[in-house]
Structure 1
Amino acid sequence: MLQSPVEFFRTLPKKVCPECGQQVMEQAESYLQECDRCLSKKVE
């Protein structure tokens, strides 16, 4: 039996920053992989 799209997206694992392992707060239309803290370190 196929899973409904809503259930599929609800059960996806949370995105985790590959640099520090902190959970990334996802936003619509965002393709960032790192958390805000790690991104700000790269800008400095």
Structure 2
Amino acid sequence: MLILNPEMDDLARDKELAKFEAYINKEQCINIQAVLRSRTRLAYPMQK
């Protein structure tokens, strides 16, 4: 699961997703399911 900053614009989001996808492909992972979900508020705050 990859969680991105919800204040990120679409171009920055796509850039981060492409970088993550390149990493996944480089590591030769299999059985990957990518689902892009809408921006929603989490039930609890994220800890940094």
Same fold (TM over 0.5): no
Larger relative contact order (CA 8 Å, sep ≥ 6):
2
TM-score scaled to structure 1, two decimals? 0.22
* Max Rg structure: 1
